[in-house]
Amino acid sequence: MADSPYPELKKTHTMARVGRPWTDVKPVPSAPVWNVIFGLGAYWMLVGAIELGLFDALWEHGPLDPGELAKHLESSAPHVESLADALVVLGLLDRHEGRFDLNDCSRRYLCSESPAPMADLVAVAPGPAENWTDLVGTIRRGEPARPVDGDGAGFWVPLVEGTFGTVLRAASRADAWISYSHLNAPRVADLGAGGAPWSIAVLLACPGATAVVNDLPEVLEVARARLAEAGVEDRCELRPGDYHTVALEDESFDLVVLGHICRTEGADGTRALLGRAAAALRPGGRVLVSDYFRTEDPSRSPQGVFMAATMAVCTVRGTAFTYEQMSSWLREAGLGEVRLIEPIAAQQIFVATKPTGPPESSD
């Protein structure tokens, strides 16, 4: 038998004393390149399936063959089958005996009635598609041609609507770690609140709680509607405006929430926000910084690294900060007891406490 052009990797006989054995001996697979090429299509197939109502059809009708599914979607059967097969490959559907069905992932996250809905998030989370097609220009210029920073109605309103459910779950589950429900009538400052999921979670858990809810005027309309749906609008004061300058009373709040806002602000803006938060907290109060963070080693924090790239193509100062940066900035702001919690997958929150003063002497 002829020798293989690329002998199999065996530690026993290929482990040279220099170099990396797995690249010295045979070429690396091309799978990472193909994965990226197919990545564009994968994203748009998920967006399309949600827009067509594919997941909801399977939720409502159960397993369907391609023809039945196409009929419910009022679409071409061969094209629906092509799309659904791709979703099977992506791990978002099952196909048994020719019939498509939801799997555990799509049942939990991708249907309108899912217990942890993410469908609204898919279309808006990566930012505008045209910003990605201008990636090279953005990199050369050092900033995007069409940043979304001030586009309250066009970008932020759909984004906060899309992210509301996920963040509300994270905020509600966070009580298991930080126990805000035990606070006596806490006062919350929710800066850049979006649809105000954090305020809603705390106000629902604490009957006496009140909140100051801040965001751009058009975004606050989303918050107003969500607060009303939750029945807590009468305990909230809406303060429209820039969170860098909106009025905040010193030492008046038990919780200050910076929910997914720091990554648009750059390092200086973020440190300024942490300083504002520290000043606004009562002694013993806590700041909650929810965001996507990264490690120095990019391979350990893919979500943070991708979010940094997303922010760079969409916003003027956007990035993702390292865990080390955020934890050290919290301490620089005079806060202590820094913790990192993850109430639900991929939703991480730094929690830091304003000191209550020097401890009493034990003498």
Partner 1 sequence: MSSSNDTSDPGRLEPVDLLIRAGHVVTMNPRRDIVRHGAVAVRGSEIVAVGKEADLRARYEAAATAGGDRFVATPGMVNSHIHITGEPLTRGYVPDDIDFAENVFGWLCPLYATYTANDERISAQLAATEMLRSGTTCFLEAGTVRFLDDVVDGLVEVGIRGRVGRWVWDLPPEPDVYRQNTDEAIANLQAVLDRHGSVAGGRIAGHVILVGHNTASDPLWRAAREIATDSGAGFSFHMSPAQLDPDSFLAEFGQRPIVHLAELGVLDDDVALTHCVRVDDTEVRILAETGASVAHCPTTALKVAYGVTQVGKMPEMMAAGVNVAIGTDGNNASNYSDLMRATYLVAGLFKDARCDPQMFPAEMAYEMATLGGAGAVQAHDQIGSLEAGKKADIVLHDTDRPEWRPLLNVMSQLVWSADGRGVHSVWVDGAQVVDAGHMTTIDEERLWADCQAAGEAICARSGLPDKAKFPMV
- Min dist CB 175 to partner 1, Å, is 7
Instruction: Please choose, out of 116-124, 211-219, 260-268, 337-345, the segment that lies near partner 1 by the rule CB under 8 A.
Output: 337-345
Residue the block writes with tokens 């918050």: 223
DSSP single-letter state for residue 294: B
Instruction: Please choose, out of 67-75, 99-107, 264-272, 333-341, the segment that lies near partner 1 by the rule CB under 8 A.
Output: 333-341
* For partner 1, the closer CB: 82 or 295: 295
Regarding 177 and contact with partner 1 (CB under 8 A), the answer is: yes
x/- contact string, 258-297, with partner 1 (CB under 8 A)? -----------------------------------xxx-x
Regarding 340 and contact with partner 1 (CB under 8 A), the answer is: yes
Helices and strands (DSSP H and E) totals, the chain? 17, 9
| Burial of residue 97 (number of CB atoms within 10 Å: 0-12, 13-18, 19+) | exposed
What is the DSSP annotation of 203-221? HHH-TT-EEEEEE-HHHHH
Closest Cα to residue 270, out of 217, 336, 318?
Answer: 318
- With CB under 8 A as the contact rule, the residue among 135, 176, 228, 267 that binds partner 1 is 176
CA-CA distance, 118 to 109, in Å (whole number)? 5
Instruction: Please choose, out of 33-41, 68-76, 176-184, 240-248, the segment that lies near partner 1 by the rule CB under 8 A.
Output: 176-184
Contact 118, 46 (CB under 8 A): no
x/- contact string, 220-259, with partner 1 (CB under 8 A)? ----------------------------------------
- Please name the amino acid found at residue 339: R
Regarding 141 and contact with partner 1 (CB under 8 A), the answer is: no
Instruction: Please choose, out of 73-81, 184-192, 226-234, 321-329, the segment that lies near partner 1 by the rule CB under 8 A.
Output: 321-329
| Burial of residue 323 (number of CB atoms within 10 Å: 0-12, 13-18, 19+) | middle
Regarding 332 and contact with partner 1 (CB under 8 A), the answer is: no
- Min dist CB 360 to partner 1, Å, is 17
CA-CA distance, 265 to 273, in Å (whole number)? 9
- With CB under 8 A as the contact rule, the residue among 130, 229, 337, 356 that binds partner 1 is 337
Size of the site for partner 1 (CB under 8 A): 39
Query: Residue 282 half-sphere exposure, CB side, CA atoms within 13 Å?
Result: 11
CA-CA distance, 113 to 238, in Å (whole number)? 30
* For partner 1, the closer CB: 126 or 304: 304
Token pair of 287, please?
Answer: 């700041």
* Cα torsion through 128, 132, 138, 140, rounded to 10: -170
Q: Which residues bind partner 1 (CB under 8 A)?
A: 10-12, 15-22, 175-179, 182, 293-295, 297, 299-301, 304, 322-324, 326-328, 337-342, 348, 350
